[in-house]
Amino acid sequence: MNHLRLPLLDQETCENLLEKLAQQAEWQDGSLTAGAHAKGGKRNLQIIYDSPLRKVIHERVEHAMWNHPVVKGFCLPRKLHRFLITKTEKEGGYDTHVDNAYMSSGRSDLSFTLSLTDDTRYEGGELEIDSISESFPIRLKQGEIVIYPSTSLHRVCTVTRGVRTVCVGWIESYVQAENDRLCLFQLESGARAVLAKHGRSDELDLIFLAYTNLLRRLGG
């Protein structure tokens, strides 16, 4: 499965954001932002988009993502599109769907979910992402993010206890093709690992040269 999962925010930051959401957030029906084909299957709440609090959280998460070298290497991000904060309570969930190909600000190549809630505080609510032959259930720990291709069918399983609060968003990459992004990520990751282990070399300079010129060629 071509996804990336890693810790992004620490526990203190997540708890602070959850406290602000509990005190200040105005919530609305999440189906208001679902596409026509998915509207009936979206059973959650989301913070009002124009909320100053949503903007604060957006900026905090975007800063953490764009300053994480692995996230940058995997996504090759050009733009982070609209960013939602959703709350799924008992009996809520989101049936199988695919994200829109284009948001109001551009193409969606990658989707992400960042968990603000400790996974012991709710049951159910797994994010399931489909591959060609099977589904991958993902239960995020507090502060973890998973980034995956927006071309994938996926769903949020029904929450059976507690409340699941997450941030979700979409990314436009400089490299549109999934396989090209993955090859570039593997090449860069391998080169950086060799650099850390053995230091600079003429041979490694040639690998970074190839990576940079491939990125220049494949990027749009």
The string of pLDDT tens digits covering residues 144-194 is 999 999 999 999 999 999 999 999 999 999 999 999 999 999 999 999 999
Instruction: Give pLDDT, residue 132.
Output: 83
Q: What is the pLDDT of residues 31-86, one digit of tens each?
A: 887 666 666 799 999 999 999 999 999 999 999 999 999 999 999 999 999 899 99
How much is the pLDDT for 133?
83
Three-state secondary-structure class, residue 25? coil
DSSP for 36-58, please give it: TTTGGGEE-EEE-TT-HHHHHHH
Beta carbons of 177 and 220 less than 8 angstroms apart: no
